[in-house]
C-alpha cells in the first residue's frame, strides 16, 4: 500500500478503540491505572486516546497532511487528559465521603416487607429515593417503620409504634 494516509487512518482508529476499551474497563473495574497521585488515570488516558484517534482519523480522511494529523491529535489528546484529570479531581473533592447512619430513622413501607424483600421510603432529609429493606417479621405496605441496621444501601427495619 503506497497511501500513507490509509495506514494513518488505521493507526488512529486502533488507538481510538484502545482508548474506548480503556475507558470502559476503568468504569467497570475502577481506576487500575493511577499516576501522579491521580493526575493521570485510566479514564483520562482512555479519553486522550479516543480524542487522539478521532481527531487524527478526521484530519487524514479530509486529505490534510498526515504530519498535521499526528501533531494536532497529540496536542488535543494531552488537553483532553488534563481536562479529564481536573474534572475528576473536582468531582472527588465534592464527594462527601462520610457515610450517614440511618439507624433510628423512621419511614414508611412502600411494599410488603419480609425477611427477604421489601422497600421503604425514609423520612431523612437526604433520602430522595426508596431503599430496599428487610425485617424479621412481616410488615404490610403503608406501615410506619424504624431502621435497626444498615447494610450497604439496604436497611433492616421493624414496625414503628408512636409509643416506642
In this structure, which CATH number among 2.40.50.140, 3.20.20.70, 2.60.40.10, 1.10.10.10 belongs to the domain 106-159? 2.40.50.140
Would you write out the chain's pLDDT as a tens digit for each of its 164 residues? 446 567 888 899 999 999 999 989 888 887 777 776 666 788 888 999 999 999 999 999 888 898 999 999 999 999 999 898 888 777 766 655 566 788 999 999 999 999 989 999 998 877 767 899 999 999 999 999 999 998 888 899 999 988 76
CA-CA distances (angstroms) from residue 34 to 12, 54, 86? 24, 24, 14
Q: Is 130 helix (H, G, I), strand (E, B) or coil?
A: coil
Instruction: Quote the radius of gyration of the chain (alpha carbons, Å).
Output: 26
Every domain of the chain and the residues it spans: 4-94, 106-159
Half-sphere exposure of 22 (CA within 13 A, CB side): 21
Q: Give the span between the Cα atoms of 95 and 84, in whole angstroms.
A: 17
Q: Give the span between the Cα atoms of 49 and 78, in whole angstroms.
A: 9
Amino acid at each position: 500500500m503506497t497511501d500513507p494516509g490509509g495506514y494513518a487512518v488505521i493507526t488512529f482508529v486502533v488507538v481510538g478503540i484502545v482508548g474506548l476499551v480503556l475507558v470502559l474497563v476503568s468504569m467497570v473495574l475502577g481506576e487500575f491505572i493511577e499516576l501522579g497521585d491521580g493526575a493521570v488515570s485510566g479514564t483520562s488516558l482512555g479519553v486522550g486516546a479516543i480524542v487522539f484517534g478521532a481527531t487524527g482519523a478526521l484530519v487524514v480522511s479530509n486529505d490534510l497532511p498526515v504530519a498535521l494529523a499526528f501533531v494536532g491529535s497529540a496536542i488535543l489528546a494531552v488537553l483532553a487528559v488534563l481536562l479529564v484529570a481536573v474534572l475528576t479531581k473536582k468531582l472527588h473533592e465534592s464527594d462527601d465521603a462520610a457515610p450517614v447512619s440511618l439507624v433510628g430513622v423512621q419511614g414508611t413501607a412502600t411494599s410488603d416487607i419480609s425477611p427477604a424483600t421489601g422497600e421503604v421510603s425514609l423520612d431523612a432529609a437526604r433520602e430522595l429515593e426508596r431503599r430496599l429493606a428487610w425485617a424479621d417479621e412481616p410488615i404490610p405496605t403503608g406501615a410506619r417503620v424504624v431502621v435497626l441496621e444498615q447494610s450497604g444501601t439496604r436497611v433492616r427495619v421493624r414496625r414503628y409504634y408512636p409509643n416506642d
